[in-house]
Amino acid sequence: MLDIRRISTNRWWHKRRNWIFFVIFLFLFFVRISKGSIFKDCYYFISRPFWPGQFQKEVLLKSIDQETLVNLNLLKKDNLRLRKILSLQESSNNNISASVISRKTGSWWRQLILNKGSKDGVEISNIVIGPGGLLGRVNNTSLFTSSVTLLTSPESKVGVWVDRIQINGLLVGVGDDYPSLIIYSKDADIKVGDIVSSSPASTLLPPNIPIGIVQSIGEPIKAKKTAKISLFAKPHAIDWVQILQVKTQ
Amino acid sequence: MNKFSKKGLSMAIFIFVPIIFLWHPSWLGFLGVQPYWPLFWLLPWSMIHGSVNGLIYGLFLGLILDSLTLDSNFTQIPGLILCGILFGRVKLHSDSLVGHFRYGLICSSGSFLCGAIYFSQILFKNFSDSNFLLFIPSVQNILSEVFLTGFFAPLICSQLLRIFKSIDRKV
């Protein structure tokens, strides 16, 4: 009887050390099965600060930024000169910064109310841009506030330009977050990813303000092609905007 | 003086409707859409004061909300007037639980009516350009609004009805 009890207490699973070994074995087995992915991932995070080329990448990006900036300034000057020659509408530099004090970005009523009004020089049909591009046009001003019709509002209709295929279109707000682009040509080769900006031919908007990107293309209706546009500027997240005072021709 | 202050509370809540309409608290929204706030005030008010009063205050609310929104081509007045008249014909129910659910259902129907009238105006305006088909997907605005209005109505309308009733008794 005593012998039996002694043997049973000496079984291998009664020893803690054996269990530790077993767990380590299981862990290593898992590492083997996963082909060392845990080790690799750990190494990724540990070695990240010491990677070669991180500093080099920053230097290169800075140089590219500088080059782009210089190019942009040169192109702006060139653009102004050509516009003067062609006597087209000029982009204005009279900007007013304003903050959003009320926003309605859902349902049918899509508008922003800004904290700058007629006393600050805001006028009806001024252009409102935010981080990303065009947001809409000032539709109403009071002494201290101005109301902006967003591009997504069913009231909004603006002329736009699709640069890749060099064609004008009409951007119509339809009461959802993605306004519709109407191109009055059945054969227009519009593609998903095309950039849409304000039209150089428009008398309402200054030219070349980025607006959005083609998200999907609809079926042609009566010699018209339609597309849904995803806007660059997100009115539901913007707190500060710029009001551009447009010189109308 | 007391009478005026009691009436003043109803009017203060009335004035709060356009404020919350402008405020547009996004955390209460669904798919970016808000409940149709004016109905929460109009339903209890019309239930207590009748169809004619509902019509008048529906018109007032419509005028205020139209002045706050920029859409000069479309109006909320017909929908709110109709709702004011219809809500005035709704009888108060003795069973409070049934009453609560009724508020949700009635406000949802009202919201659908207002949304459909507004949407039909948009379609009608764009009918000549044959662009009206582009507006069909925005029906989701009506559906979201109906859902949210019906969801919040039992809570808000029952409280407002209680307040209006108590004011009415005291005055």
Print pLDDT tens along chain A (249 aa): 455 555 556 777 778 888 888 888 888 777 777 766 676 777 677 766 666 555 666 777 788 888 888 888 888 888 878 877 776 555 555 788 888 887 888 777 888 888 888 888 888 888 898 888 888 988 888 888 888 888 888 888 888 888 888 888 888 888 888 888 888 887 778 888 888 888 887 778 888 888 888 888 887 777 788 888 988 888 888 888 888 887 654
Q: For A209-228, what is the HEC assignment? A: CEEEEEEEECCCECCEEEEE
Question: Does B2 reach chain A within 8 Å, measured CB to CB?
Answer: no
Q: Which of A132, A128, A184, A125 is nearest to A160 (CA)?
A: A184
Partner-chain contact B135 A154, CB within 8 Å = yes
pLDDT value at position B113?
93
Q: Of A106, A109, A174, which is closest to B135 when you measure between CB atoms?
A: A174
Residue B145: its chain A contacts at CB < 8 A? 107
Average pLDDT over all residues of chain B = 82
Same domain flag for A239 and A139: yes
Q: Is the dihedral of CA B96, B101, B106, B107 positive or negative?
A: positive
Segment (H or E) for A150: strand A146-150
In a domain, B25, yes or no: no
In a domain, B27, yes or no: no
Give the count of beta carbons closer than 10 Å to the beta carbon of residue A115. 14
In a domain, B24, yes or no: no
Partner-chain contact B122 A236, CB within 8 Å = no
In a domain, A61, yes or no: yes
pLDDT value at position A142?
83
Question: Does B124 reach chain A within 8 Å, measured CB to CB?
Answer: no
Confidence of residue B1 (pLDDT cuts 50, 70, 90): very low
Q: Which of B158, B47, B142 is nearest to B96 (CA)?
A: B158
Q: Which of A182, A127, A183, A176 is nearest to A152 (CA)?
A: A176
Cα end-to-end span (Å), chain A: 111
At a CB cut-off of 8 Å and minimum separation 6, what does A206 contact? A89, A90, A91, A92, A127, A198, A244, A246
Same domain flag for A174 and A223: yes
Q: What is the mean pLDDT of residues B132-151?
A: 84
Same domain flag for A149 and A164: yes
CA distance A129 to A136: 7
Partner-chain contact A105 B140, CB within 8 Å = no
Same domain flag for A81 and A140: no
CA distance B120 to A119: 38
What total number of domains does chain A contain? 2
pTM of the model: 0.69
Residue pLDDT, tens place only, B9-43: 777 888 888 888 877 777 777 777 888 989 999 99
Residue A108: its chain B contacts at CB < 8 A? 71, 74, 118-119, 122, 138, 141
DSSP A66: H
At a CB cut-off of 8 Å and minimum separation 6, what does A228 contact? A178, A179, A180, A181, A214, A215, A216, A217, A218
CA distance A169 to A226: 9
Domain edge (last residue) among A44, A70, A86: A86
A215: its two tokens: 């998200």
pLDDT value at position A125?
85
Residue A157: its chain B contacts at CB < 8 A? none
A160: its two tokens: 């736009």
A165 burial level (CB within 10 Å; 0-12, 13-18, 19+): middle
DSSP A32: H
Same domain flag for A208 and A114: yes
ipTM of predicted complex: 0.74
Question: Does B37 reach chain A within 8 Å, measured CB to CB?
Answer: no
Partner-chain contact A107 B137, CB within 8 Å = no
Same domain flag for A69 and A116: no
At a CB cut-off of 8 Å and minimum separation 6, what does B16 contact? none
Domain residue limits at A57:
52-86
Q: Is the pLDDT of residue B137 over 80?
A: no
pLDDT value at position A88?
59
Q: What is the dihedral of CA B96, B100, B103, B104, to 10 degrees?
A: -160
In a domain, A14, yes or no: no
Domain edge (last residue) among A86, A111, A132: A86
Same domain flag for A165 and A238: yes
CA distance A96 to A130: 12
Question: Does A113 reach chain B within 8 Å, measured CB to CB?
Answer: yes
What b-and-e string marks burial along B44-62, b requiring 16 or more CB atoms within 10 Å of the CB? bbbbbbebeebbebbebbb
Contact A175, A152 (CB under 8 A): yes
B22: its two tokens: 């402008």
pLDDT value at position B114?
93
A186: its two tokens: 């059945």
Same domain flag for A81 and A149: no
pLDDT value at position A87?
62
Measured CA to CA in angstroms, residue B36 lies from A201, B61, B109 at distances of 40, 12, 11
DSSP secondary structure letters along B25-83: -GGG-BTTB---HHHHHHHHHHHHHHHHHHHHHHHHHHHHHHHHS--SS--SHHHHHHH
